[in-house]
Amino acid sequence: MSDDSDRNPTGPRAPFPATPPAPSPRPGPGAPHGARDDAPARTTGGPLAGVRVIELAGIGPAPMAAMTLAELGADVVRVDRPVPSLVTDGLDRGRRSVVVDLKHPGGAEAVLRLAERADVLIEAYRPGVAERLGVGPEAALARNPRLVYGRMTGWGQSGPRATTAGHDINYISLTGALSAIGRAGGPPQVPVNLLGDFGGGSMYLLVGILSALHHATATGEGQVVDAAIVDGLTHLSSMVWAQRRHHGWRDERGTNLLDTGRPFYDVYETSDGGWFAVGALEPQFFARLVELLGLPEWAGDQYEPERWPAMRAAFTEAFKSRTRGEWERVFEGSDACASPVLDWAEAVRDPHLAARGTHDRVDGGDVPSPAPRFSATPTRTAAAPGPVGADGAGVLADWGVRDADGLVASGAVPPGWAGGRGGAPSGTGSGTSCPTGAGGPGS
């Protein structure tokens, strides 16, 4: 998919005047990051209460990171475009929305004035686009030297592929990870987009932002966080790299300990078409597994490779003899490391997940609850999004943005959107834009 957000702003209007900002009161080193004596940060509870985040709207890993920060208590403001994209990822919960027209000559100034009041800025444009739009890290850090500027891409800010298009499947294919997933003799299997976009992308962006935020709190020095899916996923694969080097892990998929190469680490079909997952790696768990399967004769053969084909056949036949529900009752409460393979709807009803409150309800639908959990600073599930741009006036006011009225009057923050006037219906856009064009992660 592509759009035109990587073009330079055009139009006959004169640029909005950018006057040098007055020094913004900031806490000294060691003070709570985000504390300000002239415009208190909006407090929502959670370990990141008081932290202000700007998210330049995109899709995929960056919105997931922004939503997570919001659930951790940060005051996250999403800068949406005047025209919502048709692409949606549903990750727009938990933050306020301000519409800024970055094609307007004063649009960049509006974002930079928000950046003056923020602790973190997140963008997921192709390399160079933020700079061409006037909201790149050099411009933003000049306004706010303590700012953490988080950049989320698939390929990274540099390298031969940096400016080319890609999706999760392309990023993971280059790292070796996609090649490793699948059965021996079969094609690589696509693991949805959890591995690249969110495992190698969002989570590493979050680690970078929070680490840089800690540094900024201690020293007053902001910095740029270059989070690339190819980098994050490669690092996420550190155990496999170590196993390849020291323990004989083979590049042929489906031949290793944790990739279905062993019959005691695999999935098996049940008589009703369900599936059971088996992960009995340790001898004591394997012994319990074969006991409950009615195959105790296999207890001493776990790590005998020449026996694995026959062992797999025996396991396959055993699991096919009962329904998934029957096997659930057989293995319930045991240390056999055997569990049913649930679909998304079944997971919500699982007794263990239900007891932990792993899912919540928002706007009439099931959503994941925040993770991890905190004993002293509990988090909150991100609320459903409101109309795009509905929070413009409120954000400009309670963040203490300089000359907020002038930004609205200039058209940089369109007056039809500021304060929710003429906003799009809820759910139509705050999580839908794709400002990276075809080159950003998840685009």
What is the rounded distance in angstroms from the CA atom of residue 384 to the CA atom of residue 91?
10
Q: Which of 167, 226, 266, 391 is catalytic?
A: 167
User: What is the rounded distance in angstroms from the CA atom of residue 423 to the CA atom of residue 53?
Assistant: 22
CA distance 327 to 331: 6
Collapsing DSSP states into helix, strand and coil, what is residue 366? strand
- Quote the Cα angle for 358-360-365, to 5°: 130
- Integer Cα distance of 250 and 252 in angstroms: 5
State the amino acid at position 45 in one-letter form.
G
The DSSP string of 21-75 is PPPPP-PPTTSPTT--SSSPPPP--STTTT-EEEEE--STHHHHHHHHHHHTT-E
DSSP state of 77: E
246 assigned to active site: no
DSSP sequence for 225-275: EEEEHHHHHHHHTHHHHHHHHHS---SSTTSSTTTT-STTEEEEE-TTS-E
Q: Which residues of 76-99 are buried (b: 16+ CB within 10 A; e: fewer)?
A: bbbbbbbebbebbbebbbbbbbbb
300-304 CB contacts, 8 Å cutoff, 24+ apart: 302/264
Tell me the C-alpha distance between 65 and 348, whole Å.
23
Cα gap 256→205, rounded to integer Å: 30
Return the structure tokens found at 42.
């909006």
From the list 80, 197, 226, 231, the catalytic residue is 197
Kindly state the DSSP code that residue 374 receives in the 8-state scheme: -
**DSSP code at position 157:** S
Query: Facing residues of 224 across strands?
Result: 149
With CA atoms as reference, report the closest residue to 120 among 140, 106, 134, 90.
140
CB 431: neighbour CB atoms within 10 A? 29
Which residue numbers are catalytic? Answer: 167, 197
